[in-house]
Amino acid sequence: MNDQRPRVRREVVSFVRRSTRMNESQRKAWDAHRDAWVIDDLPMVEMHTSLAPEATIDPAAIFGRAAPLAVEIGSGAGENAVALALARPEVNIIAFEVFLPAVASTLSRIARAGVTNVRIIPRDGAQGLATLFGTGELAELWTFFPDPWHKGRHHKRRLVNPGFADLVADRLAPGGLWYLATDWADYAEHVHEVLDEHPGFAAEHRRMPHRPETKYERRGIEAGRRIHDLAYRRRA
Ligand SMILES: C[S@@+](CC[C@H](N)C(=O)[O-])C[C@H]1O[C@@H](n2cnc3c(N)ncnc32)[C@H](O)[C@@H]1O
């Protein structure tokens, strides 16, 4: 595929490594649907959680059709991916989530909704974006309620950072959209700092159509925080 792709070294990752213990219903959903909707046979670097540089996917083959491609990074229990899959059946959606119990919950949601346009890759989405997709391949990127990493010494773990912004700018097609949401004012400010002056993007802030209210959004609202919906369009 694309040999010019920027490589993102991610020794520092944007997620917390947690136990992969699933409850009974998650285990059942995992066993029932993993083969159909989870892409977890990608080559990995030995003794490492990273995708091998030669890992590739063919979205048209995976979905059985060519369609505009949206990628979600940090899809949690799949509330966004599944609601958006229902609302926008014409889009192919690939969701990255590292926490397997949440992936299993997503599988239940997909089954209940009966959608066919979502697949999940249980790997680091920043690395997946760098490795699995070529320049201009994505119509949209979604990062909703990313882990905030408030402490100054943890800021380097934030998913949104200048290197990641360059990568997204490369992977989005001209005119493509990056939708973000956060309930943390300091993260919203951080996003503005990283993206407002980025030459690849033009700000178009608004809530993404059909984005549902998720558990994380409700939690923020209940705690009295304002929801920041941000959108950046890839300049042509
Ligand atoms: C605060 S939750 C938000 C979940 C979801 N976006 C929502 O709005 O309900 C953030 C999730 O992102 C996942 N995550 C963080 N960084 C990631 C990465 N680089 N690749 C894949 N998943 C990631 C975490 O495991 C966690 O489940």
Task: Kindly report the three-state secondary structure assignment for every residue of 206-222.
Answer: CCCCCCCCCHHHHHHHH
170 Cα: distance to centroid of ligand 1 (angstroms): 22
Per the annotation, the verdict on 147 as an active-site residue is: yes
Q: What is the value of pTM for the model shown?
A: 0.93
The pLDDT of residue 165 is above 60: yes
Average pLDDT, the chain: 93
Please check whether residue 111 is in contact with residue 32, taking contact to mean a CB–CB distance below 8 angstroms. yes
Please check whether residue 232 is in contact with residue 204, taking contact to mean a CB–CB distance below 8 angstroms. yes
Q: What is the pLDDT confidence band of residue 77, given thresholds at 50, 70 and 90? A: very high
Query: Which pLDDT does position 95 carry in this prediction?
Result: 98
Q: Give the nearest ligand 1 atom to 79 CA.
A: 9
Q: What is the pLDDT confidence band of residue 32, given thresholds at 50, 70 and 90? A: very high
The more confidently predicted of residues 80 and 153 is 80
For the chain, list the domains and their CATH numbers.
24-234 (3.40.50.150)
Please check whether residue 233 is in contact with residue 177, taking contact to mean a CB–CB distance below 8 angstroms. yes
Q: Give the nearest ligand 1 atom to 99 CA.
A: 25
Q: What is the pLDDT confidence band of residue 2, given thresholds at 50, 70 and 90? A: very low
Query: Is 214 strand, coil or helix?
Result: coil
Helix (H) or strand (E) holding 63: helix 59-63
The Cα 59–Cα 70 span in angstroms is: 11
The pLDDT of residue 101 is above 80: yes
Choose the residue to mutate in 12, 15, 149 for probing ligand 1, maximizing ligand atoms within 8 Å of C-beta: 15
161 Cα: distance to centroid of ligand 1 (angstroms): 15
